[in-house]
Amino acid sequence: MNESEILKAIAHPMRLQIIDLLLMGIPKDACSVNLIQKELDIPQPTLSQHLQILKSHGIIDGDKEGAKVCYKVVDKRVIKILQVLKK
């Protein structure tokens, strides 16, 4: 995936918040759908749509931990992009 496709996938403010939350780990271990939903105060179906977009673009991936899936950012280019945006 090229950089323009990555930028398009992360262009939504909610997806940026999801990525930022996963990278910051606030609160600690906030990687499951329920914890992300609680932290961002958005409906679960909306969150699932955003997670699916990020996952389909290879930006995040989920590791199954028992009954839950723990998401993490796997595309290092996204981390660099966010570092530039925050300067």
pTM, entire model: 0.88
CATH at residue 46? 1.10.10.10
Question: If you count them, how many residues does the chain have?
Answer: 87
| Euclidean distance between CA atoms 37 and 33, whole angstroms | 6
Task: Quote the domain boundaries for residue 78.
Answer: 3-85
How many separate domains does the chain show? 1
Summarised one tens digit per residue, pLDDT across range 25-47 is 755 566 888 889 999 999 999 99
At residue 8 the predicted structure's pLDDT band, cuts being 50, 70 and 90, is very high
* Helix (H) / strand (E) containing 68: strand 68-73
Tokens of 58: 């290879």
Mean pLDDT in residue range 10-35: 85
Summarised one tens digit per residue, pLDDT across range 70-84 is 899 999 999 999 888
Query: What pLDDT does 32 receive?
Result: 86
Eight-class DSSP state of 61: E
User: At what angle are helices 3-10 and 13-24 packed, to 10 degrees?
Assistant: 100
